[in-house]
Structure 1
Amino acid sequence: MGLDEQVPHAAPGQQEGHRQADRAAADDEHGRSLGIIDTARQRAVHADSDTGQPYDQWATEWVRRRGVPLGRMGRPEEVAPVIALLASPLASYISGAEVTVAGGAGRSAH
């Protein structure tokens, strides 16, 4: 379904929501590879780990074991601008690219 086509059987107020979802799907052609980001999900992983370590100590060890060169988790405010750029009209000529926001993790040594 194209971005400007009507969604059958959708209420008038839902039309724009469906168009936005279609645009998001179209924008999803831009790859985003995220590293370990300090989110509620990571805090839940810590809570489930039963290590008894304070979160900051656990997080430092977590990223060390995963080989993150910057030695820390990323912050949502570091990821958000990248996502905003890729979802914006400014990225209209970006095609088939993957942007990795992972503190250097996953880079091959040369």
Structure 2
Amino acid sequence: MSMLVNLSDRVAVVTGGSSGIGLATVELLLEAGASVAFCGRSEDRLASAKEALLRRYPQARLLAAPCDVLDPASVQAFAAQVKDAFGDAAILVNNAGQGRVSTFASTEDAAWMEELQLKFFSIINPTRAFLPQLRASREAAVVCVNSLLAVQPEPHMVATSAARAGVHNLVRSLATEFSADGIRVNGILLGLVESGQWRRRYAARPAEEQDLSWEQWTGRLARRKEIQLGRLGLPEEAARAIMFLATPLSSYTTGSHIDVSGGLSRHA
């Protein structure tokens, strides 16, 4: 899908870019002509994703590098790699990890600390590392992939919901602070989106659901969750919202969030 935007003069960075929403975002950025750097923890997945992308976009200016976003030194090294390869990044997509299923009673202190550290520092570390580059770029943008849980918490995901709410606030705070540098900061609020996590749940479905196809199983799930569009979202649908916020298409938008939940949202 063409986003009708030319990013041939832009350098974009996507964390968690080797699969799912991150990979779909990398594809759209390449399609728009950007130089793209993406990272992840698995070297095998990175190599596989890069190979597949280069088959589709043989002229792509593409960097894939292993990086642990929770390790400041690793992220600083990745930022230096990007600058050496392409110059200053103008777009940063912070694509955080999956959720934790737990209630207040079942979440131990170590799990709380792990969840809060993941959700906050997967944004803090990359933003801190790339901030000098973003400041040097014109029309710079940061996009944080967040969850609808930030404003519509679920009792069975108490730690993730609380951490996501904090990220929601962080996006607004960063937008205010960085506005003086001309850097826009926005986020998206995801509902249920097809992912490896949902594929694994489908593979482990109970015996009475073995005859259901993926479409039937996810359709039933969507109805049970009362998703108004009647299905799970696709990674590329989330990626399109990210692209809007990351590019001049949203040049007058900062400190905001786009709901990408198919109507799962019940908040005003």
Q: Is TM more than 0.5 here?
A: yes
One of 204, 224, 229 as aligned partner of 1:65:
224
Question: Which letter maps to 2:261?
Answer: A
One of 16, 29, 33 as aligned partner of 2:189:
33
Deviation at 1:107, TM superposition (A): 2.8
Structure 1 residue runs without a partner (length 5+)? 1-7
SS at match of 2:189: strand
Deviation at 1:15, TM superposition (A): 2.4
Deviation at 1:71, TM superposition (A): 0.9
SS at match of 2:223: helix
For residues 9 and 55 of structure 1, the distance between their equivalents in structure 2, rounded to whole angstroms, comes to 40
Q: What is the CA deviation profile of residues 49-94 of structure 1, one whole-angstrom value per residue up to 9, with x for unaligned ones?
A: 3342322221111111111011111222322221111111332321
Structure 2 residue runs without a partner (length 5+)? 1-75, 93-126, 128-140, 144-184
Deviation at 1:9, TM superposition (A): 7.7
For residues 246 and 236 of structure 2, the distance between their equivalents in structure 1, rounded to whole angstroms, comes to 16
TM-score normalised by length of structure 2 = 0.32
Q: What is the CA deviation profile of residues 15-56 of structure 1, one whole-angstrom value per residue up to 9, with x for unaligned ones?
A: 257943x84135133120111122333212211233423222
Q: Which residue of 2 aligns with 1:15?
A: 83
- 2:244 counterpart of 1:88: no
Question: Which letter maps to 1:103?
Answer: G
- CA-based RMSD of the aligned residues comes to 3.1
For residues 205 and 228 of structure 2, the distance between their equivalents in structure 1, rounded to whole angstroms, comes to 23
Q: Which has the higher contact order (CA 8 A, sep 6+)?
A: 1
SS at match of 1:30: strand
Q: Pick closer, same or farther for the CA change 1:34–1:16 going to 2, 3 Å.
A: farther
Q: Pick closer, same or farther for the CA change 1:16–1:48 going to 2, 3 Å.
A: farther
One of 213, 216, 222 as aligned partner of 1:54:
213
Q: Which residue of 2 aligns with 1:45?
A: 201
Question: Of Structure 1 and Structure 2, which has the larger fraction of its residues in strand?
Answer: 2
